[in-house]
Amino acid sequence: MNDQSPTRDERIEKLKGLGASRRRVEDVRFTQGKGNYVDDIKMPGMLFGDFVRSPYAHARVVSVNKAAALALPGVVAVLTAEDLAPLGLHWMPTLAGDKQMVLADGKVLFQGQEVAFVVAKDRYTAADAVELIEVEYEDLPVVTDPFKALEPDAPVLREDLAGKTEGAHGHRRHHNHIFTWEMGDEAGTETALSEAEVVAEETVYYHRTHPCPLETCGCVASMDKVNGKLTVWGTFQAPHAVRTVASLISGIAEHNIRIISPDIGGGFGNKVGVYPGYICSIVASIVTGVPVKWVEDRMENLMSTAFARDYWMKGRISATKDGRITALDCHVTADHGAFDACADPTKFPAGFFNICTGSYDIPVAHLTVDGVYTNKAPGGVAYRCSFRVTEAAYFIERMIEVLAIKLGMDAADLRAKNFIRKDQFPYHSALGWEYDSGDYHTAWAKALEAVGYKSLRAEQAARVEAFKRGETRKLIGIGLCHFTEIVGAGPVKNCDILGLGMFDSCEIRIHPTGSAIARLGTISQGQGHATTFAQILASEIGLPADDITIEEGDTDTAPYGLGTYGSRSTPVAGAATAMAGRKIRAKAQMIAAYLLEVHDDDVEWDVDRFTVKGAPERFKTMKEIAFAAYHNAIPGLEPGLEAVSYYDPPNMTYPFGAYICVMEIDVDTGVWEIRQFYALDDCGTRINPMIIEGQVHGGVTEGLAIAMGQELAYDEIGNVKTGTLMDFFIPTAWETPHYITDFTETPSPHHPIGAKGVGESPNVGSVPAFSNAVQDAFRAFGHVHAHMPHDHWRIWTIAEGLGLHA
Amino acid sequence: MIPGHFEYHRPTDVASALGILATHGDEARALAGGHSLIPMMKLRMAAVGHLVDLQAIPELRGIEVGPGRIRIGAMVTQADIIAHAGLTAAAPILAETALMIADPQVRNMGTIGGNVANGDPGNDMPALMQCLDASFELRGPEGARTVKARAFYESAYVTARSDDELLTAVSFAPTGGGYAYEKQKRKVGDYATAAAAVILTRAGATCASASIAMTNLADTPVWAEAAGAALVGTPVDAAAIKAAVAAMRAAISPTGDNRGPVAFKHHVAGAVLGHAIARAWSRA
């Protein structure tokens, strides 16, 4: 007779599976400074690379004189486009179907562009050699404004595309035009707008910013000339895709390339793309036969690697007089910089921007996006959001506020009036998405109740009166946001990157003693995958999470996957993990039945064991089953206990949330203070509430930065004005307020465990909440809209424009 | 962010430091806390052949609080200033200002001498020194001399100190009455968008004396003599503050940058000074 203790609840608790606030296993090494990042990798004989970068935003490169640099002791090589051209590597394909210069080929197109690559015996010599390289430039006219770039007589930026009227995404109507992407019903939208009782119009700019991860980008490339194998350790958010791309570009067979993403210090989309530093390091290692390290500094990261946003969104929204929305139109002018290097699925040149109808039941909508070249750095990545979703969320949440002003309605009421109702899911949006599940009204009511919305509005109105009487110089803003994300790219039928379907994978091996290793196609950059994926698996296979190793990032050992960005790890790889776990359990069931001498159908799963139906005292634990898998000769069954799953999601997932920000604003100085920030997230099934809370704190802090000051600003001749952390706003603990987190739980109906993903929701949802708070503070004085970022002087400018300083 | 080649010197007394500076002339730079110079070297915006580190010179350390005079050695850190109870009792505005400089890590390294000698208009201590009517002790090959803080700053990074001189100490009289250092910045670690140092005394219901200086609103710190004078003899009411602000605005000449355009800075300077005067008066 088996022992019946511990109890079922005790056994569940021991697993630390779904729903447990399990401590992050990664933090032991991270908090002790024992992580292993790219720059920690040291190899015998390793050389160091450094770039000569363009000080100009647009110039012809007349000559590059390497002589003095090559004469410096310790300098091994200096590469220019001329050296790379015979290999066909002076240009490289981008993820968006464009191509990008690896090293300046005749001209430079943005400040900070890579011109020459120095390889030297140490980092100092490399930097000295950079100074010795003489580059002669000839100025060309600079365009940093996407609207001016489309004027007929605008300078031609991409001479390599001269005469090409077809691009990767269709017709190009101007020499600086990249694509036009259109969705929805133009005629129906125009009809609805023209017949509407009320139409609100606004141009909403989401300024250019940058993911700015704590660790910058870098790699160590090592070509082993004996066995012909190239190994590259790098800051890659998608190591398997990098391997395939590297093989296609270099001609090296894919089995001879090994890509390893070691610990990564944050990515936020910045580390999805391929950068010239990687190509140059690989070429340099092939040429020299020794490993070559390249790690960029902070200024290089901000000035040359992938930026985010830079969307000019011109919107029209119509409604009945009582606030029922009837149509939405949006035209985006998208500044992509010098090369189209967005990291979007191939069929979505503007990402999933067509989620811009948001949380609302809008009967008809129309969207066009024009991509434009300018003399700015390339990029357009999803900075802690799914592809262009944060732009979409900001757009619709601003348009709702603008419409509320036009209608004279409370913005919370206007939202509630137009939410997609719970009974409408799965909901088909006017711009083509099928929302999986949601319960917006419940979340919204909970949020308004939690912050005491009605009394906040009363206090705000009283403050306005006090201000008018001259008793205070501070106003109160109440920033509302109800966002719907679209994450988990994605179904292979419509989502691919460079032809690679956006499935993901998990491979599990159960060891004889009842512990396990699981490998995934994703790669954590701080999200805590080693913690949470073990929890998913613990609940699926009944082994404690503490006994499960999670490994990612080495293409020689991990199954193929598309990596980690767009909150896709849990929706896609998390699903693969659950499905692989279920395969393990299916085989375990047969083993258990054999050991218990009953038919397969006569045993049932119970937390961590199979029991005989109707006789729970007869059972075999997973630990016992694991040993049996390697010990017993079971008729009809192969030895061992392993499984692999490649998961192609049937749909995206649609997390949502309700965020509210209460802000005090000093009218004279523009100084703001966050009095309250409430974040309710519904990410479906919650795997680890503590990690969710941490993700929300981090994402809201990034949103705070973006909304309140963070920008990549350029002057009119293309100089980056915010190229250091003195000017590029990263909040410290001092500027970061307390956050209140809350949740509702509406599982995804199509995901194996109902999880939707959460990492990016707080960035998507908080930016509109912060911005709406600023704008709402001035609503009583006739203010409608002002562009972000809302730093002190721009807030002051709103007040100045309203005559509040008189 | 990789500096070029430099020689490192670590003298143990002022005379040796001056000797090294004299030997290498333009090639040499004195290093105090390093929070301005080292980033400039890493950006290769400053090429320094010989770096003369002053950390190991005991005679540049020490805070002396006398009955009529306070003397602070050049290598005293902002953290030392904040921690010194006697100094805070005699001139509390020192600690209040030091606490608004960057963050604890920077304050552990950053020195008062480096802060005032560098001539960076963004630094906070120069305006405070002008507000206090402090004197700077300089030593060079020709010997020692003293320069008033109010006469020290010529333009951005250009001061009365010669390249072959070291600023060895600052000194000023203890303060009585009210004080305030008010600073608006974008975040911890930032230079001031605008900052105001105010010291004033009270006689009955009116202001008996007042000194006002402003940070980062011109290419030097600005001692706004007329602004202080506008408060004297008044009850420091709204009208007096308005007059002081107007006088201050006439003395500053801010430039536009990422912190905002000129009009904004003029406005904020007024708001910041208004807050500072009100706080100082409440303490008088």
Q: What pLDDT is stored for residue A249 in this prediction?
A: 86
For residue B2, tell me if it sits in a domain: no
For residue A391, tell me if it sits in a domain: no
Instruction: Give the residue among A517, A492, A649, A510 at the shortest CA–CA distance from A570.
Output: A649
Four-residue CA torsion sign, B238, B242, B243, B245: positive
| CA distance to partner chain B, nearest, from residue A797 (Å) | 8
From chain B, pick out residues whose CB is under 8 angstroms from the CB of A721.
258
Rounded average pLDDT over B202-210: 97
Q: Which residue has the tokens 């100045």?
A: A800
Q: Which of A172, A384, A519, A686 is catalytic?
A: A384
Domain CATH code at residue B75: 3.30.465.10
Q: Is A384 a catalytic residue?
A: yes
From chain B, pick out residues whose CB is under 8 angstroms from the CB of A727.
258
From chain A, pick out residues whose CB is under 8 angstroms from the CB of B186.
709, 729, 791-792
B247 and B276, same domain (yes or no): yes
Share of chain B above pLDDT 70, in %: 100
Rounded average pLDDT over A603-610: 98
| Cβ–Cβ below 8 Å for B260 and A805 | no
CB atoms within 10 A of CB A742: 16
B89 and B122, same domain (yes or no): yes
A665 and A520, same domain (yes or no): no
A549-589 residue pLDDT tens = 999 999 999 999 999 888 899 999 999 999 999 999 999 99
Q: How many domains does chain A have?
A: 3
| Cβ–Cβ below 8 Å for A128 and B4 | yes
**Residue A208 token pair:** 């250019």
From chain B, pick out residues whose CB is under 8 angstroms from the CB of A805.
267
For residue A165, tell me if it sits in a domain: no
For residue B156, tell me if it sits in a domain: yes
CA–CA separation, A112 and A565 (whole Å): 26
For residue B1, tell me if it sits in a domain: no
| Cβ–Cβ below 8 Å for A792 and B272 | no
Does the pLDDT value for residue A2 go beyond 70?
A: no
For residue A342, tell me if it sits in a domain: no
Q: Is A497 helix (H, G, I), strand (E, B) or coil?
A: strand
Is residue B128 within 8 Å of B115, Cβ to Cβ?
no
CB atoms within 10 A of CB A697: 15
Q: Which domain holds residue A14?
A: 8-35+504-647
Question: Which pairing describes strands B50-53 and B28-31: parallel, antiparallel, or unpaired?
Answer: parallel
| Cβ–Cβ below 8 Å for B2 and A127 | yes
A21 and A42, same domain (yes or no): no
Q: Is it true that the peptide bond before A6 is cis, omega within 30 degrees of 0?
A: yes
| Cβ–Cβ below 8 Å for A670 and B1 | no
Question: Which pairing describes strands B28-31 and A91-93: parallel, antiparallel, or unpaired?
Answer: unpaired
| Cβ–Cβ below 8 Å for B268 and A792 | yes
B82 and B120, same domain (yes or no): yes
From chain B, pick out residues whose CB is under 8 angstroms from the CB of A669.
184, 268, 271-272
Nearest to B271 among A669, A731, A735 (CB): A669
Nearest to B189 among A128, A732, A797 (CB): A732
Instruction: Name A341's Cβ contacts closer than 8 Å, sequence gap at least 6.
Output: A94, A95, A96, A98, A100, A273, A306, A378, A379, A380
Q: Which residue has the tokens 């619709």?
A: A396
| CA distance to partner chain B, nearest, from residue A643 (Å) | 48
B11 and B105, same domain (yes or no): no
| Cβ–Cβ below 8 Å for A732 and B193 | no
| CA distance to partner chain A, nearest, from residue B58 (Å) | 33
β-pair partners for B203: B206
B160 and B183, same domain (yes or no): no
Q: Tell me which DSSP letter residue A383 carries.
A: T
For chain A, the C-alpha Rg in angstroms (whole number) is: 28
B73 and B143, same domain (yes or no): yes
Instruction: Give the residue among A669, A693, A659, A696 at the shortest CA–CA distance from A773.
Output: A659
A517 and A640, same domain (yes or no): yes
B189 and B168, same domain (yes or no): no
Q: Is B173 helix (H, G, I), strand (E, B) or coil?
A: coil
CB atoms within 10 A of CB A726: 15
Q: What pLDDT is stored for residue A1 in this prediction?
A: 44
Distances in Å between the Cα of A579 and the Cα atoms of A153, A540, A623 are 57, 9, 20
Please say which residue of A304, A327, A354 terminates a domain: A304
A663 and A582, same domain (yes or no): no
A164-218 residue pLDDT tens = 999 999 999 999 999 999 999 999 999 999 999 999 999 999 999 999 999 999 9
CA–CA separation, A773 and A769 (whole Å): 6
Q: How confident is the model at residue A3 (pLDDT cuts 50, 70, 90)?
A: low
Q: Is A288 helix (H, G, I), strand (E, B) or coil?
A: helix
**Residue A634 token pair:** 């079971």
User: Interface of chain B against chain A, CB under 8 Å?
Assistant: 1-2, 4-5, 44, 103, 184, 186-191, 193, 258-261, 263-264, 267-268, 271-272
B166 and B76, same domain (yes or no): yes
User: Average pLDDT over chain B, rounded to whole?
Assistant: 97
From chain A, pick out residues whose CB is under 8 angstroms from the CB of B264.
670, 792-793, 796-797
Name the residue of chain A whose CA is nearest to B192's CA: A726
Q: Which of A100, A111, A113, A237 is catalytic?
A: A237
Rounded average pLDDT over A638-662: 97
Q: How many domains does chain B have?
A: 3
Please say which residue of B147, B172, B197 terminates a domain: B172
Beta-carbon contacts below 8 Å between A and B: 69
What is the secondary structure of A629-686 as a DSSP string? Answer: HHHS--TT--SS-EEEEEE--SS-B--EEEEEEEEEEETTT--EEEEEEEEEEE-BS-
Q: Is it true that the peptide bond before A789 is cis, omega within 30 degrees of 0?
A: yes
Question: Helix count (H) and strand count (E) of chain A?
Answer: 20, 35
Does the pLDDT value for residue A499 go beyond 90?
A: no
For residue A773, tell me if it sits in a domain: yes
From chain B, pick out residues whose CB is under 8 angstroms from the CB of A126.
2
Nearest to A123 among B2, B187, B272 (CB): B2
Q: What pLDDT is stored for residue A55 in this prediction?
A: 98
For residue A616, tell me if it sits in a domain: yes
A694-719 residue pLDDT tens = 999 999 999 999 999 999 999 999 99
CB atoms within 10 A of CB A627: 19
Rounded average pLDDT over A115-144: 98
Does the pLDDT value for residue A455 go beyond 50?
A: yes
What is the secondary structure of A554-622 as a DSSP string? Answer: BTTTSPP---S-TT-IIIIIIHHHHHHHHHHHHHHHHHHHHHHTS-GGGEEEETTEEEETTEEEEEEEH
Question: Which pairing describes strands A642-647 and A615-621: parallel, antiparallel, or unpaired?
Answer: unpaired
Scanning A196-344, the segments in alpha helix (DSSP H) are: 239-250, 276-288, 298-304
A575 and A631, same domain (yes or no): yes
Question: Which pairing describes strands A516-520 and A548-552: parallel, antiparallel, or unpaired?
Answer: parallel
Q: Tell me which DSSP letter residue A789 carries.
A: P
Report phi then psi at B248, rounded to 5.
-60, -45
| CA distance to partner chain A, nearest, from residue B93 (Å) | 22
| Cβ–Cβ below 8 Å for A732 and B103 | yes
B65 and B161, same domain (yes or no): yes
Rounded average pLDDT over A53-81: 98
| CA distance to partner chain B, nearest, from residue A767 (Å) | 18
B70-108 residue pLDDT tens = 999 999 999 999 999 999 999 999 999 999 999 999 999
Q: Which residue has the tokens 């001749």?
A: A717
A740 and A601, same domain (yes or no): no
| Cβ–Cβ below 8 Å for B193 and A124 | no
A464 and A548, same domain (yes or no): no
For residue B12, tell me if it sits in a domain: yes
Q: Which domain holds residue B28?
A: 7-52
Q: Is A760 a catalytic residue?
A: yes
Please say which residue of A606, A630, A647 terminates a domain: A647
From chain A, pick out residues whose CB is under 8 angstroms from the CB of B184.
669, 671, 792
Is residue A453 within 8 Å of A412, Cβ to Cβ?
yes
CA–CA separation, A359 and A403 (whole Å): 15
Q: Which of A212, A280, A356, A385 is catalytic?
A: A385
Q: Tell me which DSSP letter residue A160 carries.
A: G
Domain CATH code at residue A665: 3.30.365.10
Rounded average pLDDT over A251-270: 96
Question: Which pairing describes strands A114-120 and A47-53: parallel, antiparallel, or unpaired?
Answer: antiparallel
Does the pLDDT value for residue A326 go beyond 90?
A: yes
Q: What pLDDT is stored for residue A566 in this prediction?
A: 82
For residue A168, tell me if it sits in a domain: no
Instruction: Name A416's Cβ contacts closer than 8 Å, sequence gap at least 6.
Output: A441, A444, A445
Name the residue of chain B whose CA is nearest to A733's CA: B188
Domain CATH code at residue A114: 3.90.1170.50
User: Average pLDDT over chain A, rounded to whole?
Assistant: 96
Report phi then psi at A479, rounded to 5.
-100, 120
Share of chain A above pLDDT 70, in %: 100
B229-245 residue pLDDT tens = 999 999 999 999 999 99
B113 and B164, same domain (yes or no): yes
B165 and B65, same domain (yes or no): yes
| CA distance to partner chain B, nearest, from residue A101 (Å) | 24
Is residue A621 within 8 Å of A609, Cβ to Cβ?
yes
Q: Which of A540, A710, A760, A779 is catalytic?
A: A760
A548 and A446, same domain (yes or no): no
Mutation target to probe the A interface, by most A beta carbons within 10 A, among B264, B266, B273, B275 is B264
Nearest to A793 among B2, B259, B272 (CB): B259
Give the ipTM: 0.96
Rounded average pLDDT over A391-419: 98
CA–CA separation, A753 and A537 (whole Å): 11
Rounded average pLDDT over A386-398: 96
Strands of chain B, DSSP E: 7-9, 28-31, 50-53, 63-65, 70-73, 135-140, 143-148, 153-155, 158-159, 166-172, 178-184, 194-203, 206-215, 222-223
Please say which residue of A599, A629, A647 terminates a domain: A647
Instruction: Give the residue among B129, B71, B69, B119 at the shortest CA–CA distance from B98.
Output: B129
Q: Tell me which DSSP letter residue B111 carries.
A: B
CA–CA separation, A90 and A81 (whole Å): 5
A556 and A698, same domain (yes or no): no
Instruction: Give the residue among A73, A90, A92, A74 at the shortest CA–CA distance from A82.
Output: A90
Rounded average pLDDT over A42-54: 98
Four-residue CA torsion sign, A686, A691, A695, A697: positive
A119 and A223, same domain (yes or no): yes
Nearest to B186 among A50, A127, A792 (CB): A792
B93-147 residue pLDDT tens = 999 999 999 999 999 999 999 999 999 999 999 999 999 999 999 999 999 999 9
Mutation target to probe the A interface, by most A beta carbons within 10 A, among B262, B267, B273 is B267
Nearest to A671 among B184, B259, B267 (CB): B184
Domain CATH code at residue B25: 3.30.43.10
Please say which residue of B153, B172, B191 terminates a domain: B172
- In the chain, the amino acid numbered A315 is G
From chain A, pick out residues whose CB is under 8 angstroms from the CB of B190.
726
B162 and B196, same domain (yes or no): no
For residue B262, tell me if it sits in a domain: yes
Is residue A629 within 8 Å of A642, Cβ to Cβ?
no
Alpha carbon A169 to its chain centroid, in Å, reads 22
Does the pLDDT value for residue A463 go beyond 50?
A: yes
Does the pLDDT value for residue A468 go beyond 70?
A: yes
From chain A, pick out residues whose CB is under 8 angstroms from the CB of B258.
713, 721-722, 727
Nearest to B186 among A131, A791, A800 (CB): A791
Rounded average pLDDT over A227-256: 94
Q: What pLDDT is stored for residue A4 in this prediction?
A: 62
A445 and A555, same domain (yes or no): no
A618 and A659, same domain (yes or no): no
Share of chain B above pLDDT 90, in %: 100
From chain B, pick out residues whose CB is under 8 angstroms from the CB of A791.
186, 260
Instruction: Give the residue among B100, B64, B60 at the shortest CA–CA distance from B82.
Output: B100
